[in-house]
Amino acid sequence: MARKFFVGGNFKMNGTVSSVKEIVNNLNNAQLDPNVETVIAPPAIYLLPVREHLKNKQVEVAAQNVSDKPNGAFTGEISVSQLKDSGVHWTILGHSERRTIFTETDETVASKTKYATDNGVSVIWCCGESLEERESGKTLEVIAKQLSALKKEISDWSKIVIAYEPIWAIGTGKVASTQQAQEVHASIRQWLKKEVSDKVSDETRILYGGSVSEKNCKELSKEADIDGFLVGGASLKPAFVDIINSKL
Ligand code: G3H
């Protein structure tokens, strides 16, 4: 089955009412490749206005994180049912900034992913190694450990898109080479084949994230196992449209 190209924009904790509106206007006025699924993840406070102002139905909205608890006394959290009530059907989970700065473990991320997907919210599930782990040859081991924790919780993989984001490439301008990225993507696909099923391996989109720009996206998008991107910094700029259109 052909996998639909997917481009996510992670605004992180950036933006203002007016700058976010400008990004949405830019997407509304752009000609986007109709064969690309696009999802943008503004900070939680802007989710609803962004969803309401988006005219292009091809572009969906994602949260950057969500709780694995039902509604209740969890100050500062947002629930899966609140996302759905707001027409938000996607969330990012396990971003390396959540894992490292907010100490989310593989198990926490897996539990949140289970709760979201079981309750109808699709997940851009992130994984990736640090520079130290890469330099000591542990890249695949780290990713396999992250995937194994996920596998323990998940039976339905159809609501999961995997984003491979080497931590050393995030926000640094140091993009992984197409060969480095393709190598890890192919190993993730191989892992899915061996540990889950041929079908999940064939159908799951694997995105690359880490200093993706309008300059490097075309080359990366040609690789067999790169099914799209999770874009940080460049998703705040007009060049995000060029990244969405990288296959054209
Ligand atoms: O979620 C996005 C990634 O962390 C990549 O961020 O494109 O700014 O390097 P970046």
pLDDT digits (tens, 9 = 90+) for 135-146: 999 999 999 999
CA distance 93 to 163: 10
SS3 of residue 59 by DSSP: strand
Ligand 1 atom nearest the C-alpha of 211 is 9
CA distance 122 to 136: 33
CA distance 53 to 60: 11
- ipTM tops 0.85: yes
Helices (H), ranges, the chain: 17-29, 47-53, 80-85, 96-100, 106-118, 131-135, 139-153, 178-195, 198-203, 217-221, 240-244
> Which pLDDT value is given to residue 1?
66
Q: Which residue has a Cα nearest atom 3 of ligand 1?
A: 232
Sign of CA dihedral 174, 177, 180, 181: positive
Q: Tokens 């089955």 correspond to what residue?
A: 1
Check if the beta carbon of residue 151 is closer than 8 Å to that of residue 107. no
Indicate if ligand 1 lies below 6 Å from the C-beta of 221. Answer: no
SS3 of residue 92 by DSSP: strand
Q: State yes or no: is 185 an active-site residue.
A: no
Indicate if ligand 1 lies below 6 Å from the C-beta of 165. Answer: yes
Active-site annotation holder among 95, 104, 129, 185? 95
Indicate if ligand 1 lies below 6 Å from the C-beta of 166. Answer: no
Q: Which residue has a Cα nearest atom 7 of ligand 1?
A: 232
Which one, of 212, 213, 195, lies nearest residue 204 by Cα? 195
Q: Which residue has a Cα nearest atom 6 of ligand 1?
A: 232
Which one, of 125, 105, 104, lies nearest residue 114 by Cα? 125
> What CA dihedral angle connects 122, 106, 114 and 101, to 10 degrees?
-50
Which backbone phi and psi does 78 adopt, to 5 degrees?
-125, 140
Residues of the chain with pLDDT under 70: 1
Ligand 1 atom nearest the C-alpha of 213 is 7
> Which pLDDT value is given to residue 175?
86
CA of 86 from ligand 1 middle (Å) equals 25
Check if the beta carbon of residue 12 is closer than 8 Å to that of residue 220. no
Ligand 1 atom nearest the C-alpha of 235 is 7
What's the one-letter identity of residue 95? H
Indicate if ligand 1 lies below 6 Å from the C-beta of 210. Answer: yes
Q: State yes or no: is 60 an active-site residue.
A: no
Report residue 220 CA to chain centroid gap. 16
CA of 234 from ligand 1 middle (Å) equals 8
Ligand 1 atom nearest the C-alpha of 92 is 1
Q: Which residue has a Cα nearest atom 10 of ligand 1?
A: 232
CA of 72 from ligand 1 middle (Å) equals 32
